[in-house]
Structure 1
Amino acid sequence: MKEWAHTVKRDILALSVAYKDPRVPWYARAFIIGLLGYAFSPIDLIPDFIPVIGLLDDLILLPLGILLAIKMIPPLVLQESRIQAQQMLDQHRPLSWRGALIIVLIWLTCAALIVLWFLRWR
């Protein structure tokens, strides 16, 4: 289980490296950006406090999304990205404040739009 968790962590980091590569198709980049945003987001599609179902996104949806994204990436790019991701993990450098800021801003924008929508129809 611990090895599987490490593989998932490495693959998520490899996807964050791969989406910047110009050899990756645009649709794969779009999917990867959405997947990474969801993976690193503090807000889940299904809240974790709901028994059993709340953990489905972490145990099923996220790994399936990773597998789909990996299928969209050219094999050579994926191999290079995995090597770079492993090097980053070995150096303990997978932190991205810029990425975290973007995710928080997206969620705040969505929340503001929902509030405005409710106020408009009230």
Structure 2
Amino acid sequence: MLDLLIGIALALTAGWLALVVTLVVVRPRGGLLREALRLLPDVLRLVRRLAADPALPRGVRVRLALLLGYLAFPIDLVPDFIPVLGYADDAIIVVAVLRSVVRRAGPEAVRRHWPGTDDGFAVLSRLAGF
């Protein structure tokens, strides 16, 4: 039984480390990360609007609903005391999900629901790669 618990703990630790490495790889470079954090309020409204749009594919809406759940959950995957990634993990995960949404639903769906300014949308476009 102890071996099973140790194995589970090691598997969870390895999964967490793989996630942290993935976040480091997909994170926005340079000033884009700072801009992503500034856009977070508009992006949260965007994600909520996209998740409620019945015209989008179900898989996209499910991804967005899971993202909203993750953002609402008080415990982060990367604790805040870890430099840079601690505070930026939410922004990085949002950008990764939005990239996937744009690939599946198209940039016009994101533009249609964007609540912010045109400059903010231009930054979002650079971050999400569309």
The structural deviation recorded for 1:56 is 5.3
The structural deviation recorded for 1:51 is 4.2
Corresponding position of 2:51:
19
Counting only pairs closer than 5 Å after superposition, residues 3-82 of structure 1 correspond to structure 2 as: 3-55=35-87, 57-82=89-114
Residue segments in structure 2 that go unaligned for 5+ positions in a row: 1-30, 118-130
The structural deviation recorded for 1:22 is 1.5
Change in CA separation of 1:50 and 1:36 when aligned onto 2, cut-off 3 Å = same
Change in CA separation of 1:32 and 1:59 when aligned onto 2, cut-off 3 Å = closer
Task: Answer yes or no: is 1:86 the counterpart of 2:116.
Answer: yes
Asked if the contact 1:19/1:29 (under 8 Å) is kept, the reply is yes
Asked if the contact 2:37/2:88 (under 8 Å) is kept, the reply is no
**d(CA) in 2 for partners of 1:52, 1:75:** 29
The structural deviation recorded for 1:55 is 3.8
Corresponding position of 2:28:
none
**d(CA) in 2 for partners of 1:53, 1:5:** 12
Deviations 1:33-81 (A, max 9, x none): 0111112322111221244553452353332223223333243322210
Q: What amino acid is aligned across from residue 32 of structure 1 in structure 2?
A: L
Identity %: 28
Partner SS state of residue 43, structure 1: coil
Asked if the contact 1:46/1:57 (under 8 Å) is kept, the reply is yes
Residue segments in structure 1 that go unaligned for 5+ positions in a row: 88-122
Between the two proteins, the alignment pairs up a number of residues equal to 85
Asked if the contact 2:37/2:91 (under 8 Å) is kept, the reply is no
Asked if the contact 1:24/1:74 (under 8 Å) is kept, the reply is no
**TM-score normalised according to structure 1 size:** 0.53
Asked if the contact 2:46/2:113 (under 8 Å) is kept, the reply is yes
Structure 1, 44-53 or 13-22: larger mean CA deviation: 44-53
